[in-house]
Structures are given as structure tokens and as C-alpha cells.
Structure 1
Amino acid sequence: MQGQQQQAYDRGITIFSPDGRLYQVEYAREAVKRGTASIGVRASDGVALIVDKPVRSPLVEQDSVEKLHKVDDHVGIASAGHVADARRLIDFARRDAQVERLRYEQAIGVETLTKDVTDHIQQFTQIGGARPFGVALLVGGLDDGQPRLFETDPSGTPYEWQAIAIGSDREEIQSSLEAEYDPEIELAEAVELGLQALGSVQEEPLDPAGVGAATVDAESEQYIQLTNEEIEAALPE
């Protein structure tokens, strides 16, 4: 009987277990942990997003591995977890940003965008016959010229960070970030810090072709994805 009750809590996203847990949300968090790492670092003059894109086969076109996404001119998103789930949320975020521009003729705030996305995520923890999104996002951008960096959780909770890692090896990468992060860090140094933290959990030196990086610069207020040559120049020696 106890096993049948446990199975009911596992399958029912809208049912709390007796100890107040939603098992499907916890399983979604486990799916995020199985995804390759993504890192966000907030600098004094922008936000850097770093992602691990391991080369699984020499036949794979690296540009088809989507972990970095431009949402608006001033906002970028990195993901960890199920890529297909991430694409759905990215599409939602892009529509939300465009509606803001069309309706109010202004760029959407990073915090507003993040909370709209997490409200959408949260709905899938209360709907029968659906499942939570098995992905976490890092939303980085500018609010009135000020760099902001947020994390979304499969439960639909937003968190703001100075520097954060999601996906596999999160604890080790986060420890590296906590040891090295400086609030006054500049954007170029933030990219180097993110790459250094990612490299700290890799057995082999980082391959620029297997890493993605993007920045949102406070001066230009533009999301820019770095080339392999720029990433190689920023790699720790």
C-alpha cells in the first residue's frame, strides 16, 4: 500500500506528498543537473554568459548546439537541462519582450522578463496532465543600464545572483566562483572568470569549439556572442 501511495505522489504533479514535496518538480531539478554546465557572471559594466558545449561527434555542426540565446538586444539567456524545454521558454521570453516593445515602445526589464517566464514555469507545477519544465535558465541583461543576472528554477522561482552556475558540477563551479568573484570585476575579466571556473571541473583543457560565451555590454547595450577566436584569447593559460 505504501508503495502505491508513493507512486501516486510521483505521478501526480498537483499532489503534495505528506511531507510537503512535489516529486515531479524535484525530478525536473535532477534533469537540470544532468545537463552540461552554464555560468553567469555579473560585471560592473555588463553580464557574461558561459556555456559548456562538448563535441559529442566530429560530424555534429557545433552551431546547432543551442545553449545561448538572444532574447532582445539587451537580454541573453543560457540554459541547462532539456534543450527542447529551453526552446519553449526562450520563445515565450522573446514574445514577451516583443509585446513590451510594441505595446509600450520600450525595452522590457530583465527582472520583469524573468518573473514573467517563472510565472509561466510555475503554471506547469499546478496543471494536471502536464509536467514541469526540465530546464533552468540564466537570464542576463541590462535594466536602465544596470547589469542584472537571474536564475530560474523548475518550480517557477526566480533568484538574482552576482555569479551563478547551473547544470552538472554546479557545486564545484560555484565554489570556484565564490573564491574568485569580485563585485568590481569588468566584463572581459568576467568572461575569463567564467571560463576559468568551467575549466576547473574539466579533465582536459577547454576547447574553444566546445565552449560558448556571450556578453551584454552596458556601453553598447547589445547582446554579443563571442567567436571561437575571442574565446580562445580569454581562456586561462
Structure 2
Amino acid sequence: MSSIGTGYDLDVSTYSPDGRLFQIEYANKAVEAAGVAIGLRCSDGVVLAVERMLHSRLLVKGANRRIQSLDDHIGMASAGLLADAKNLGNRGRDEVHNYRDSYDSPITVQILSDRMSGYVQAHTCYGSSRPFGISTLLAGVDNTGPRLFCIEPSGVYYGYHGAAVGKGKALAKTELEKVLAKEGGVTCREGVMEVARIIHLVHDDNKDKEFELEMTWVCAESGGKHKAVPEDLLKEAEAAARAALEEGMEED
């Protein structure tokens, strides 16, 4: 069968003879071309981080954030098309408010992931729409503990201890496996240091533009709320990441 979508990629509801939906594959390519996003489930919370590319020197520092808050205790990071992420974030906040109105309690991360994945999957069923060009990491701490889920453009979602999406995700996943293999697990403070190191490791200075490291967490230190990692800790993590990278280059 042909590997190109000639005639079968005109709308998302048309299957190719070998059962493929080419528009979903195109959405996955949009994700793979974006800066990496990483989620790490720690012993006392979760950490989210993204590699935010600086496409222009005229951009204001901190503009065009790729991590959003959906509820007090839930954050969302994405890799792919920023406009699609904003749209899905708005949908997520609507689901949070509807659940609170209906049940008078905060939504769990899994229920929110299930509802949002259904919305994403609905955009793969009708010719009048297109798939979301993003992979989404949902993370938070609820009554079941720290949780981390990844929603793909097809609408499928899985729970993870550590997840990476976007450019360089293969190397990032390998490094996350090493971190999670440590005895006793890692705390969120340790997770911040590790995730910063991984993002600097997967960033290719020769090919990629400069980037900003955006990082948030939900843990006891943040009061159980989804908040940005404190500036002093973030700077310490970036400095340690650069030092580790330089040390590794010297050893090579």
C-alpha cells in the first residue's frame, strides 16, 4: 500500500485502504516538530516542563506560554500547535467548572483526562473538523495522589510515571526511565533538577533556536496548587543542567 495519503487525506473521516487516517498522522508530525514537553510523577507531586522556542528576539520573555492551569490542582502542558492548545485548555476549564457545579467537588485528573480525550477524539470523526495538532500532558494531585496522563491527537490517553512529547522525546523518555529507576523515587525538588537537565540535554544548539525553560509543579511546597516553580529554584536547576551538559561534553 502507498505510504502517502493521495486522495485519502482530504478529510479526517476517510480511511485509506490499509486503514490509516492520514490527517491524524499529519497532526502527529506537527507534534514531533515542536519543542519537547515533559511530565514527571514524583513521590510528593508532579512536575511539568516545556522547551519554549524563541522564534524571534522581539518576543517578550515569558510570552506564549505552553503550560496552562485548568484547575487549582491541575496543570496542562502541550507540544504542537499553540492555538490548538489554547482551545483545548479552554475546553478543559469548562469541564472543570461543569464538574464542580454538578458534584460540588474538585474534578480528579483521570476524569478530566477522560472527558478531554473524548473531545479530542470527536475531532477525528467528522469531515467538518480536523484533529488537534497537539499532544497534551495533564498533571495534578487529587484524592488519589499525584497523577500524570498524556492525550494523543487520536484521542487515546494513558497514565504515566513519566512522559515526554515533541521533538527529542525518545532521548527524553530514556533519561526519564533512568530517573524513575532510582530507589525510593524522586521528590519534586529533585524532579525539577532532573527535568531541567533532560530538556537541556535533548535541545540541539546546532539546529534549534534559543529557548526558554518553562516549568510548573503541584506539590506540598506549592500548597497543593498548580504553580510556577520558584524563580530561584528554576535558575539553580538551569545552572546545574548546563554544568552537567558541559561535564558530559568534556568526558566525550
TM-score by length of 1: 0.91
What one-letter code is carried by the residue in structure 2 that aligns with 1:56? H
1:187 corresponding residue in structure 2: 188
Q: Secondary structure at the match of 1:7?
A: coil
- Aligned 8 A contact 1:40 1:48 in 2: yes
Q: Secondary structure at the match of 2:62?
A: helix
What one-letter code is carried by the residue in structure 1 that aligns with 2:199? L
Q: Structure 2 CA distance, aligned partners of 1:209 and 1:165?
A: 17
- Aligned 8 A contact 1:33 1:167 in 2: yes
| 227, 233, 239: which one aligns with 1:224 | 227
- Aligned 8 A contact 2:197 2:237 in 1: no
User: Are 1:130 and 2:168 counterparts?
Assistant: no
User: Are 1:210 and 2:212 counterparts?
Assistant: yes
Residue ranges of structure 1 left out of the alignment (5+ in a row): none
Q: Structure 2 CA distance, aligned partners of 1:217 and 1:145?
A: 13
Q: What does the per-residue CA deviation read over 1:150-205, in whole Å, with 9 as the maximum and x for residues that have no partner?
A: 0000000011111111111111111111122246211111111111111112345x
Q: Structure 1 CA distance, aligned partners of 2:211 and 2:231?
A: 6
2:77 corresponding residue in structure 1: 78
User: Are 1:61 and 2:68 counterparts?
Assistant: no
Residue ranges of structure 2 left out of the alignment (5+ in a row): 244-252
Instruction: Let me know the Cα RMSD of the aligned residues.
Output: 2.0
What one-letter code is carried by the residue in structure 1 that aligns with 2:233? E
What one-letter code is carried by the residue in structure 2 that aligns with 1:143? D
- Aligned 8 A contact 1:145 1:218 in 2: no
- Aligned 8 A contact 2:5 2:22 in 1: no
Q: Structure 1 CA distance, aligned partners of 2:46 and 2:162?
A: 9
Q: What does the per-residue CA deviation read over 1:63-105, in whole Å, with 9 as the maximum and x for residues that have no partner?
A: 2222010110110000100000000000000111111112211
Q: Secondary structure at the match of 1:21?
A: coil
What one-letter code is carried by the residue in structure 1 that aligns with 2:219? D
How many residues get paired? 232
- Displaced runs of 4 or more, over 3 A: none
Q: What does the per-residue CA deviation read over 1:88-128, in whole Å, with 9 as the maximum and x for residues that have no partner?
A: 00000011111111221100010000110000000011011
What one-letter code is carried by the residue in structure 2 that aligns with 1:95? D
2:169 corresponding residue in structure 1: 170
Provide closer, same or farther for how the CA distance between residues 223 and 6 of structure 1 changes in structure 2, counting only shifts above 3 A. closer
User: Are 1:19 and 2:28 counterparts?
Assistant: no
1:28 deviates by 0.5
1:145 deviates by 5.1
- Aligned 8 A contact 1:43 1:185 in 2: yes
1:7 deviates by 2.4
Q: Structure 2 CA distance, aligned partners of 1:172 and 1:69?
A: 25
Q: Structure 2 CA distance, aligned partners of 1:146 and 1:166?
A: 23
2:201 corresponding residue in structure 1: 200
Q: Give runs of aligned pairs for residues 20-59 of structure 1, distance below 5 A.
A: 20-59=19-58
TM-score by length of 2: 0.86
Q: Structure 1 CA distance, aligned partners of 2:5 and 2:79?
A: 28
What one-letter code is carried by the residue in structure 1 that aligns with 2:201? S
